[in-house]
């Protein structure tokens, strides 16, 4: 079983309700919600957002809704979901603007972690990611690896990478037991980068499941995109300082905002 957390920030200006509805429809088609849970954490909403969420709660796609009534940021919104993680339960961070073109994606994620306990993060790879086996930049150069296999099992190949973009990422229970929750210096940006770094510093592997096709449906042509980029840019120096702190071990890789 897995706990899926989704942070939602929908306003009349950013028009994200359209993406949210498509994302939830994708999950309704592809996830067995008798075996898994989706909890959404709402930082901002419209009347349309409320209608969509209550509709998919009636469909039993959404198991619970957390209303924050303020913008806590991506990391802390997801953390409020992960607080309900059960022992040994893997947890997914999923964006509200992605369509998954596969019905076995969640099984493959959990199966990858089951076959290789050293995997801390396994993500679904967006079409605009830079990682490849031939990238000239060592940071983005990746390695393809076949996971352990027994006769009759589905073959699974993963792409080992330094950084997993957080559009849809499963974090293993073992990883979260070691590093705790997501952390970011502001309300937007760098939470994925820091979790990937903390995962590696904790001795885990980060990887993509490249065989699962996903589509990032946010066109990125609104003022919301510029707002996100601006918020991330404001924290660039804080990012560099925190990165140095994690690597030098002056900053603990374990983070728990609830203690």
Statement: residue 236 has pLDDT above 80: yes
Kindly report the number of other CB atoms within 10 A of residue 208's CB atom.
23
pLDDT tens per residue, range 151-209: 999 999 999 999 999 899 999 999 999 999 999 998 888 999 999 999 999 999 999 99
Closest CA to 49 of 7, 2, 92, 91: 7
pLDDT confidence bin for 53, thresholds 50/70/90:
very high
Task: Kindly list the domain boundaries of the chain, sorted by start residue.
Answer: 2-248
Between helix 74-82 and helix 191-201 the angle, nearest 10°, is 60
For the chain, what percentages of helix, strand and coil (3-state, to nearest 5) are there? 35, 25, 45
Between 227 and 63, residue with greater pLDDT: 63
In angstroms, the CA 42 to CA 71 distance is 8
Query: Which residues are within 8 A (CB) of 7 and not within 5 positions of it... i.e. 6 or more apart?
Result: 40, 41, 43, 74, 77, 78, 95, 96
Chain-centroid distance, C-alpha 8: 13
pLDDT recorded at residue 22 = 97
In angstroms, the CA 239 to CA 229 distance is 14
In angstroms, the CA 171 to CA 123 distance is 9
pLDDT tens per residue, range 197-214: 999 999 999 999 999 999
> May I ask the CATH class of domain 2-248?
alpha beta
Task: Decide if 173 contacts 121 (C-beta within 8 A).
Answer: no
H or E segment and range at residue 9: strand 2-9
What would the two tokens of residue 179 be?
A: 């590093």
Statement: residue 228 has pLDDT above 80: no
- 202 φ/ψ angles, rounded to the nearest 5 degrees: -85, 0
Count Cβ atoms within 10 A of the Cβ of residue 196 and give its class: 0-12 exposed, 13-18 middle, 19 or more buried: buried
Between helix 191-201 and helix 236-248 the angle, nearest 10°, is 10
Statement: residue 222 has pLDDT above 80: no
pLDDT tens per residue, range 23-43: 999 999 999 999 999 999 999
pLDDT tens per residue, range 90-147: 999 999 999 999 999 999 999 999 999 999 999 999 999 999 999 999 999 999 999 9
């Amino acid at each position: 079983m897995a706990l899926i957390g989704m942070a939602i920030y929908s306003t009349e200006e950013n028009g994200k309700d359209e993406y949210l509805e498509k994302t939830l429809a994708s999950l309704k088609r592809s996830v067995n919600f008798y075996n898994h849970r989706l909890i959404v954490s709402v930082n901002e909403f419209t009347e349309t957002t409320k209608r969509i969420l209550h509709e998919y709660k009636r469909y039993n796609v959404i198991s619970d809704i957390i209303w924050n009534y303020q913008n806590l940021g991506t990391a802390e919104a997801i953390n409020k979901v992960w607080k309900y993680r059960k022992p040994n339960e893997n947890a997914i961070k999923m964006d509200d603007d992605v369509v998954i073109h596969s019905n076995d994606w969640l099984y493959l994620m959990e199966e990858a972690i089951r076959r290789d306990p050293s995997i801390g993060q396994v993500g679904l790879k967006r079409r605009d990611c830079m990682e490849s086996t031939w990238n000239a930049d060592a940071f983005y150069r990746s390695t393809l690896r076949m996971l352990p296999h027994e006769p009759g099992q589905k073959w699974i190949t993963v792409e080992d990478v330094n950084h997993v973009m957080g559009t849809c990422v499963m974090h293993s229970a073992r990883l979260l037991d070691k590093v705790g929750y997501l952390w970011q210096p502001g309300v937007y940006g760098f939470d994925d980068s820091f979790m990937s770094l903390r995962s590696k510093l904790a001795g885990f592997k980060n990887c993509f499941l490249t065989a699962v096709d996903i589509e990032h449906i946010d066109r990125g042509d609104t003022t919301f995109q510029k707002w996100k980029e601006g918020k991330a840019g404001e924290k660039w120096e804080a990012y560099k300082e925190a990165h140095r702190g994690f690597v030098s071990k002056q900053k603990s890789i374990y983070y728990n905002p609830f203690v």
